[in-house]
Chains A and B, each alone.
Chain A
């Protein structure tokens, strides 16, 4: 079909719902009967991107799995704010064991389900970037290489937030954290460090790897749905801003996430069996400043004498992503 030249606001937009579409074609989040897998009353900060991302992902997974889902959760914000005794916010069977073993616990759950002939029940492991890219990395890699039937979801807020904003291997360059203070000749996190777990996941040649953002619900849900249709090890890395740790306004959580995507700093892509199969082109390409300026963790780059060189280095990272993942909008 030909591309519609007229602009519409209701159909084909990025809004959560659309009263004009058939209910089956709207997002899971638009549904009045969505699971709310992560219930109200949790103790996440105001405007928490992780709480939002978790509900988005798990609700979508619940729908895809016909509500037969078990989750293993790493220690971290998500675990702490959702299950402080005597209340839990989870409405699904959920388990927390340790910081670094969520992937292995999920492997165990999947093994138990397999041996009991309950492969209709699906297993998710989830954790923050610390629990995924750092302390849980060995277990994660083991789960990947064994191709265990687990979907691992990393909610990446780019530092150890639960312990008070310390650097993780997912912290971006120049970002101020409690352990990469904005002091000295090169304030903030050091350039040339950190690791890209989605790419490492791809190196395991597992069936499915994707990145997603809370700022793009349609894309996120489609990826979760796709992941749930596949058996074996799967990995989705979701970018979730942390107002507290990033020094952004709670009401700007999605705006910040959008700029991360639209600047090219957080590319959205999918890979199957180690090969990139799709990427989400930028809708409204933005300079990295638009993203950085919303966050106090980058405040040292601005002010009276902006640190042009450092900003240029960050822009170079974004440009490289745009090139590598083919994020420029089609002409």
Chain B
């Protein structure tokens, strides 16, 4: 076409006009740290594995999960999920049921017999892990993935540590526990049970490094005057014996002394063992109880009784004497001098645990403080090559933290063996609720419902997902807001008035075309999950 001069123009020719020069601020894609990930003691990339679960790709979700945690089925049951407390969705309606999805993935993996994808060829380095609890096995698992030869020794008859001897079956079925432990064995980790180590230095022969994870299996005791026929037990032994097949005789009325999770475990176990009355005595208030709220609620549902602001003073003649306490102005309990007798056939002390550290007596330079072994940021004790984690080091003593210790130690052991230092990458900025544009997270409006239906069908036809459980897990996963991490919602691509966002394709996210981006910031403010940041333009 012979076009008239100036008034008739070739299509799309404005590409010659680079409006990017107008910009004073530029958008950049960021991966902010989701609050759930930040809160996870095991260092799970929760948002990351939920992303795959949302799409119904449970295998990839599980594999992503397994990068940080070898026990999804266990963790999905026993973790107190601080992730959910941190979850931004909680400010919108209710937190995502992360643990439920994790458990679903874990169970599915057991059913399907999945093994983690990539295991490095074993190298020449041998590492001794002492203790087959969560941190020991976690460390062994990660070392194994990295290609080290790992031998785990444990004095117990069965592996699992506190997961087996501390957590009752009703919270953690043993087939699940066995399955996840045996998977680690199948990967090539050698488990030596009934192998108590008395002297670590002696046992270290032939090993290049050691990870100590002996846990805290000794019950902390308190001096309670006890009369004849008084039956006083400690929680740890009770649970241990139960696991080894010798349940203790507790009688009809059981008093449990303590306010932690173990106290609840024991009280609930007592009920299951036939106690008619299971009473927890705690010296502070309900609100001050360190036990997890969900466990407390479950205990209340099961009819466990509580006596708050009371200390056990003595036990004699089928009754326990307690003294009433009162809180001073700082919230600290003070004795009142008022006493009360409670009928009891047995008293179980759940006052905390300590570690058995006798095996370390010959380790030179080892620093021990308040019954726990001091470790540096690399989880290494003050003795080079000996690392430690789990309940025997200062921590909150949860399974999840122990698993996190194991992973962290494994990384550092591997680096130490190469004479390197493992530097943890700097943590990303947290994707707080204020970074989100929650308008986009909503009820499925009726008009879109048919589309939703198709998406659901499309995902749940997958053979591995059967029944209601799979469907629920999918729904729950899809409630994830993907805080701080692009989930390819196409908003930035759509809302840019200048077409300055390039869509790179499924799984590849987006890129900015700074030739045309005018820096209006619409993409950043309309990004639902806060994965775009505006930064001042440098000249």
Contacts and interface: CB of A to CB of B under 8 A. Distances in A.
The answer to whether any beta carbons of A and B sit under 8 Å apart in the complex is yes
Interface of A: 1, 3-4, 6-22, 25-27, 29-30, 32, 36, 38-44, 46-49, 51-52, 55, 82-83, 85-92, 217-218, 243, 249-255, 258, 283-284
A19 B491 CA distance: 12
Interface stretch (B105-113, B220-228, B500-508): B500-508
Contact of A86 (B9, B15, B450, B497): B9
A45 to B, nearest CB: 8
Contact of A250 (B7, B475, B481, B522): B522
A258 to B, nearest CB: 7
The 9 closest A-B pairs by CB, nearest first: A17-B490, A16-B494, A251-B521, A12-B444, A41-B14, A47-B520, A12-B448, A46-B520, A15-B489
A15 B439 CA distance: 9
Contacts of A90: 11-12
Nearest to A215: B439
Contacts of A36: 499
B455 A91 contact: no
B124 interface: no
Contact of B521 (A30, A83, A250): A250
A43 B518 CA distance: 10
B528 A9 contact: yes
Most B CB contacts (10 A, CB to CB) among A12, A83, A252 go to A12
Contact of A14 (B16, B440, B475): B440
Interface in B461-485: 475-476, 478-482
A12 B454 contact: no
A6 B442 CA distance: 10
B443 interface: yes
B493 A86 contact: no
A46 B12 contact: no
Contacts of A283: 442, 445
Contact of A27 (B16, B439, B494, B526): B494
Given A20-B54, A41-B19, A43-B19, A13 B441 contact: yes
Given A8-B452, A86-B6, 12 more contacts: A4-B475, A6-B476, A7-B441, A9-B528, A12-B443, A15-B491, A40-B516, A41-B19, A42-B498, A47-B522, A88-B10, A254-B526
Chain B contact patch, size range = 35 or more
B440 A9 contact: yes
B131 interface: no
B488 interface: yes
Contacts of A29: 490, 493-494
B22 interface: yes
Most B CB contacts (10 A, CB to CB) among A16, A29, A258 go to A16
B500 A40 contact: yes
Contacts of B499: 36, 38-40, 55
A87 B13 CA distance: 5
B528 A32 contact: no
B452 A4 contact: yes
Contacts of A55: 497, 499
7 contacts: A11-B456, A12-B452, A27-B494, A52-B497, A83-B9, A86-B13, A253-B497
Contacts of A217: 494
Contacts of B493: 16-17, 29-30
A179 to B, nearest CB: 27
Contacts of A14: 439-440, 442
Contacts of A251: 520-522, 524-525, 534
A86 B7 CA distance: 8
B34 interface: no
B443 to A, nearest CB: 6
Given A8-B444, A15-B490, A40-B15, A253 B522 contact: yes
A218 B17 CA distance: 30
A18 B489 contact: yes
B458 A16 contact: no
B495 interface: yes
Contacts of A41: 14-19, 516
A323 to B, nearest CB: 22
B520 A11 contact: no
Contact of A88 (B12, B18, B54, B526): B12
A32 B495 contact: no
A92 B11 contact: yes
Nearest to B525: A251
Interface string B16-56: 11110010000000000000000000000000000000110
A14 B490 CA distance: 11
Nearest to A36: B499
Contacts of B445: 12, 283
Interface in B351-382: none
A40 B14 contact: yes
Nearest to B15: A41
A16 B520 contact: no
A22 B524 CA distance: 26
Interface string B414-455: 000000000000000000000000011111111011111111
Contacts of B306: none
A17 B9 CA distance: 33
Contacts of B6: 85-86
Contacts of B475: 4, 6, 8
B520 A3 contact: no
Given A46-B519, A250-B521, A19 B458 contact: no
A46 B446 CA distance: 34
B348 to A, nearest CB: 41
Contact of B440 (A15, A22, A32): A15
Given A10-B54, A26-B490, A255 B525 contact: yes
Nearest to A249: B521
Contacts of B446: 3
Contacts of B326: none
Contacts of B525: 251-252, 254-255
B481 A88 contact: no
B437 to A, nearest CB: 8
A10 B516 contact: no
Contacts of B519: 46
A8 B449 CA distance: 11
B513 interface: yes
A43 B525 CA distance: 22
B367 to A, nearest CB: 48
Contacts of A10: 54, 478, 487, 489
A19 B494 contact: no
Interface string B291-302: 000000000000
A279 to B, nearest CB: 12
Contact of B449 (A4, A21, A22, A258): A4
A300 B494 CA distance: 34
A131 B66 CA distance: 61
A251 B446 CA distance: 29
Given A15-B528, A42-B498, A87-B17, A32 B503 contact: yes
Contacts of B17: 41-43, 87
A78 to B, nearest CB: 12
A117 B385 CA distance: 86
Interface string B89-120: 00011000000000000000000000000000
